Amino acid sequence: MICMVMKMSNKYQELMNQKNEIMKTSIGLDYNKYEIEGIGFDFEYMMNDQGYDIEKIVKIQNENMIGNTPLVELKNITNYARKYAKKGYGARIFLKDEAANISGSFKARRAVLAVNQAKELGFKGIIAATSGNYGAAVAALAAKAGLKCIIVQECFDSRNVSQPEILEKARKCEAYGAEVVQLSVGPELFYQFLKLIGETGYFNASLYSPYGVKGIETLGHEIAEELMEKIGKYPEVVVVTNAGGGNLTGTARGLKDAGATETLVIGASVNLYGLHMASDIDFNRKSFTTGHTGFGIPFAVFPDRSDVPRSAARPLRYMDKYVMVNQGSVFFMTEALAILEGMERGPAGNTSLAAAFSLAQTMKDNEIIVVQETEYTGAGKHILPQLSFARKNGVELKFGDPRKEIPGQNIIIPQDGSYLCHQNIDLNDLKKTYLKRYKDMVLSSLDFKYLSEELRIDIEEVKELMK
């Protein structure tokens, strides 16, 4: 038995030692090209060196039933928010309905560039590791392009139990003809993902490649251009559900490129503090598989933890503010969107909607706040299966004050809209955590310049935070 364990351990380590070479081969991108002496790399050079300008991206997306999604003013939800705001406050809430894309989410904007790149480079197939929505997008567009597709999904705990939302997403991937490899929670996922890339020679449709982020820039462009055309101004605020950071990075880049340089970009995540994402016990005690602090915070403070040597998702470069809402508030707003606006949409986009409902009450009534995306819904994504699953896993369900919710122990749905609130996450705390890995290093002026760009603060502030 000991001998067998050692063999498995050696095999695992052997594959892990090859990960950079495997990733480089499978994405057709030499990351060494963008490295700078010291700790930095040239982020803008990497992003602009892939041959995809905004015109080319728009053309590819339009040819694949992606983009130009409706921008809807949520008049009833705006009026509901104003009910709890002081006089003269309660911003107009708009929503970009990304469920209208080919696979039912904004992830299609990301996937189409990866599929296009795979096709251009002559790959026979494409592979992605994802909890689901991105997998569905990759699968749909691979089918359209005539490529084979494998989706690797972290799905089960040790009891072989999976969340209804994850199973719904697997069904969606399989409907497009993809092979779905479902694994248990833990380090097995990345090992098997690397193994499959090596065995198949497929293109790695990483969420964190330049292709996985540049595709979202069109979303930022559309929000800016459509509002300027409709209202005559750019939005004061755009709220983005934040997980790995690519959604926020791409949207912010698109907004700025379109001219909306004064628009504040606010990240929003579900509060899952206290739950460990790689824990077998915690895995099914959360009701959200993405858009939560368990991804949002680790990827903000260490973006290069991803499956590529240098991540194109760098949220601290673009985030003006970061807020979180509790699980119960997102369920509340999911139902409010359906009942008040006749729009039944899935959970991830409703994270930013819950944040926007609260944030709108702090803004003047002539200002505009945009919820940046929606996603499709399906059997496993509905409120009732998710809440029933939570109860089966020992999570208490009740109405009350959402600020008292303890992730993994209870889900507190607001008694009414007046109880729904957001909590601020201190960006300086995140920046300090980001800097911790460099505290014992002797840094050059070039290093400090890079850190200044990464954290969007001047060099003196970097040095002060490092103390």
Domains, the chain, in order of start with CATH, read 69-102+217-425 (3.40.50.1100), 107-215 (3.40.50.1100), 435-466 (no CATH)
The mean per-residue pLDDT over the stretch 260-283 comes to 94
> Mean pLDDT score of the chain, rounded to an integer?
94
Q: Are 173 and 135 in contact (CB under 8 A)?
A: yes
Which is it for strands 410-414 and 396-400: parallel, antiparallel or unpaired? Answer: parallel
3-class secondary-structure state, position 427:
helix
Q: Where residue 25 falls among pLDDT bands split at 50, 70, 90? A: confident
pLDDT of residue 5 exceeding 80: no
- Strand ranges in 308-419 using DSSP code E only, listed in sequence order: 321-325, 368-371, 396-400, 410-414
Closest CA to 201 of 148, 134, 143: 148
Give the pLDDT confidence score for residue 267 in this predicted structure. Answer: 98
Q: Which residues have CB under 8 Å from 159's CB, separation 6+?
A: none
Q: Are 172 and 378 in contact (CB under 8 A)?
A: yes
pLDDT of residue 278 exceeding 90: no
The mean per-residue pLDDT over the stretch 401-413 comes to 97
pLDDT of residue 4 exceeding 50: no
Give the pLDDT confidence score for residue 6 in this predicted structure. Answer: 39
The mean per-residue pLDDT over the stretch 209-229 comes to 97
Percent of the chain beyond pLDDT 70? 98
Please give the model's pTM, rounded to 2 decimal places: 0.95
Q: Where residue 184 falls among pLDDT bands split at 50, 70, 90? A: confident
pLDDT of residue 124 exceeding 50: yes
Give the pLDDT confidence score for residue 3 in this predicted structure. Answer: 45
Q: How many residues does the chain have?
A: 467
pLDDT of residue 251 exceeding 60: yes
Give the pLDDT confidence score for residue 232 in this predicted structure. Answer: 98
Q: Which residues have CB under 8 Å from 171's CB, separation 6+?
A: 378, 380
pLDDT of residue 253 exceeding 70: yes
Amino acid symbol at 323 = V
Give the pLDDT confidence score for residue 10 in this predicted structure. Answer: 67
pLDDT of residue 21 exceeding 90: no
Q: Where residue 307 falls among pLDDT bands split at 50, 70, 90? A: confident
HSE at residue 26, side-chain half, CA atoms within 13 A, is: 28
pLDDT of residue 343 exceeding 70: yes
Percent of the chain beyond pLDDT 90? 83
Give the pLDDT confidence score for residue 11 in this predicted structure. Answer: 76
pLDDT of residue 250 exceeding 70: yes
Sign of the Cα torsion 147, 152, 153, 156 reads positive
pLDDT of residue 101 exceeding 50: yes
Please classify residue 35 by burial: count the beta carbons closer than 10 Å to its beta carbon, then call 0-12 exposed, 13-18 middle and 19+ buried. middle
The mean per-residue pLDDT over the stretch 114-132 comes to 93
Query: Crossing angle of helices 2-17/188-200, nearest 10°?
Result: 60
Give the pLDDT confidence score for residue 190 in this predicted structure. Answer: 80
Give the pLDDT confidence score for residue 380 in this predicted structure. Answer: 87
Q: Where residue 378 falls among pLDDT bands split at 50, 70, 90? A: confident
The mean per-residue pLDDT over the stretch 151-156 comes to 91
